[in-house]
Structures are given as structure tokens and as C-alpha cells.
Amino acid sequence: MAGNLVELTVANWDEEVVKSDIPVIVDFWAAWCGPCHAIAPIFEELSNEYAGQAKFGKLDVDSHGEIAGRYGIHSIPTLLLLKDGELADRVIGAVPKPMIEDALKKLL
């Protein structure tokens, strides 16, 4: 993963997300998803702008569908925002950067 992005898996989910001492924003995506690729540069940009304030992770739903199912992910891209291991907000679809940033700022 580039920049400040963490590749999330079933194996590291609890350590990287649930036990994180800073808020986490997770991008649920898949390689075949066009809109996922559309927001990827925005997500990476935000990961650099908010480095140290929030953790940014990407989870491939094809490889780790168990976690997507646990959080009721029915369409991608979906961004989950978690604080203290608890779901705080979600952003669904390829939305503009200000919408993602607004949700993130509420978490910080």
C-alpha cells in the first residue's frame, strides 16, 4: 500500500482497527470496481493530510468478505469510520473529497 495506507485483512483487523488508539477510516473496495478506483486517489490524499490523526486502511471485499459481511457492506466503495473500535459513520459511493473530509472531521 502507498503512503499512509494500511492493507487490512481478517488477520490484522482487530489489531489495526478495533484496538487502534486513533480513529480509523476503512475503504471497502475491489479490483473490479470502477468507482472504487475513482475515489482511491482522494483516499490516499486524505491519508497523507491526516497522517497521525487518523489511520487509513483498505480492505478488499473479495479477499475478506467476512469483515464486509460483519459490517453490512452491500455496495462498494463504502467507507467506514470507526472510533474506539466502534462504528461511528459510513460514507457510501464515490463521493467528492469534501464529503469524506466532513465525516472524518466529525470523528477527530
Where do the domains of the chain lie? 5-107
* Distance in angstroms (rounded) separating the CA atoms of residues 99 and 85: 22
Q: Exactly one of 6, 25, 33, 46 is catalytic; which is it?
A: 33
27 is catalytic: no
Q: What is the 3-state secondary structure (H, E, C) of the chain?
A: CCCCEEEECCCCHHHHHHCCCCCEEEEEECCCCHHHHHHHHHHHHHHHHCECCEEEEEEECCCCHHHHHHCCCCCCCEEEEEECCEEEEEEECCCCHHHHHHHHHHHC
**CATH class given for the domain over 5-107:** alpha beta
**Rounded CA separation 53/30 (Å):** 26
38-66 pLDDT, tens digit each: 999 999 999 999 999 999 999 999 999 99
Supply the pLDDT for residue 2: 56
- Average of pLDDT values for 60-81? 96
Q: Is 79 a catalytic residue?
A: no
Joined together, the cell numbers standing for residue 14 give: 482487530
What does pTM read for this prediction?
Answer: 0.95
Catalytic one of 8, 25, 36, 67: 36
